[in-house]
Structure 1
Amino acid sequence: MSVLKWIFRIVILVLAVFLIGAFFLPKETSVARSIAIDAPAEEIFPHVANLKATEAWSPWLSRDPEVQLTYGDVAEGVGATMTWASDHPQVGSGNMEIVEATAPSHLKTALDFGDMGTAMAYFDLVAQGDATQVTWGFTSDNGNNPMLRWMGLMMDGWVGPDYQKGLENLKNLVEGA
C-alpha cells in the first residue's frame, strides 16, 4: 500500500476521532470566579448594573486604549446595551445587553461575539456578614458544533483569569484601595 493511502487513512481516522469525540464532551461551557468584597451589595451592584461603570474595572478594556465603545439609550439595568470594537485579539468585537437585573443581588447579560458565538454572563452578590461574595460567571451553549465543544475545554483557562482580574479590580475600586 502506498504511503499516500496510509496518510489519507490516518487523516480520516483523526478527523473521525475529533468529530465523534466532540459529542462526548459537554454541550454547555461554564466559567465562574468569586471574590469577597468588604462592602454591602448595594454599594457594589451599581458598578456592574451600569455598563459605562464597568470601564473602571474591566479586565479587557485596558488592553486596548483605542477600543471603541458605544452605549444604548438605557443607562443601567434591563435593556442597557454596550457594543465594543477592537482590533486587539484579546478584546475583539461584540455587544452585551443586560437581560435580568434584581438589585442588589443578581444581574444577567446576553453576550454576542459575532462569529465567535453567544453566551450568557451573570453576577451574583451574596451577603456574608459585613462583606459580599461576588461571583462573575458565564455559560455558553456549544450545541452540536464539534469545534465549540473542544474549545469549551479550554475556556476556564482562557476566561477564568480575566474574570479573576476583573473581580480584583472591582474589589479595589469599591474598597477604595
Structure 2
Amino acid sequence: MKALLKGLLYLVVLLALVFVVGGFLLPDKTHVERSIAIDRPPGEVHAMLDSYKRFNEWSPWYELEPTAKYVYSGPESGVGASLAWEGAKVGKGSQRIAESVPQQKVVNALDFDGTQAVGTFDLKAEGDGTRVTWSLDSAHGNNLVSRWFGLVLDKMVGKDYDKGLAKLKRVLEEQPR
C-alpha cells in the first residue's frame, strides 16, 4: 500500500513539473486569424464593423444564444462604442472599439469575464471588393493555464471566425449597393 501511495505521489509531482515547465516553454501569446473576400468596397465593410448595432446579424455567437442579454453603450459607432453580453452559453464579456481607421481597420478591446484580448478587422481593397482579415491576439504572460489554453484557441475560435466572416459576407452582399 505504501508503494502505491509513493508511486501516486511521484506521478502527481511529475505531472505538476510537466505542467509548470511545459507551460513556461509555451508561447506567451496566441494569434488566431481568418480571412474572406467580400464583394463590397472597404467603406461599406468598415461602416458595418465600426458599430455594434448590426453585430448580431453576422455574429457567429448570436444564434448560439439569441436570448443572451446585450447592452450597448458609448457612441453608436467609432472609438468608444461598446457592447456587453451575458448569457448561459456565451458567458459574460464586453468589447469596445479602441481604434477605427476608415476603410482600413477596426480594433476591438475584448474582455471575456476578466481575460483581455484584442480583436482586429483589417480591410484591404481587392478588385471591386474588400479582403477582410479578422484576428484575435491574446497575451498570456506568466499565466500557465492561459498558455496551455492558447494551444487550442485557434481550433476553438477559428471555426467561429470562419462562420462569422461568411455571415458578414452574406449580409453585406445581400444589401443594396
Q: Please tell me the TM-score bracket, short chain as reference.
A: over 0.9
Where does residue 39 of structure 2 map in the other structure?
38
Runs of 4 or more consecutive aligned structure 1 residues displaced over 4 Å after TM superposition:
none
Where does residue 135 of structure 1 map in the other structure?
133
Where does residue 73 of structure 1 map in the other structure?
74
- Alignment partners' CA distance in 1, 2:54 and 2:76: 10
- Alignment partners' CA distance in 1, 2:87 and 2:158: 21
- Alignment partners' CA distance in 2, 1:139 and 1:15: 28
Displacement of 1:73 in angstroms is 3.0
- Aligned residues between the structures: 174
Where does residue 102 of structure 1 map in the other structure?
101
SS at match of 2:85: strand
RMSD (CA atoms): 1.1
Q: Where do residues 20-169 of structure 1 align in structure 2 (5 Å cutoff)?
A: 20-88=21-89, 91-115=90-114, 117-169=115-167
SS at match of 1:138: strand
TM-score (norm 1): 0.95
- Alignment partners' CA distance in 2, 1:157 and 1:56: 23
- Alignment partners' CA distance in 1, 2:98 and 2:82: 9
- Alignment partners' CA distance in 2, 1:112 and 1:73: 16
Deviation digits for residues 22-67 of structure 1, max 9, x if unmatched?
A: 1111000110100000111111111111112111100001111211
- Given residue 152 of structure 1, which amino acid in structure 2 is its aligned partner? G
- Alignment partners' CA distance in 1, 2:121 and 2:38: 13
TM-score (norm 2): 0.95
> In percent, how many aligned pairs have the same letter?
41
Unaligned 5+ runs, structure 1: none
Unaligned 5+ runs, structure 2: none
- Alignment partners' CA distance in 2, 1:103 and 1:84: 26
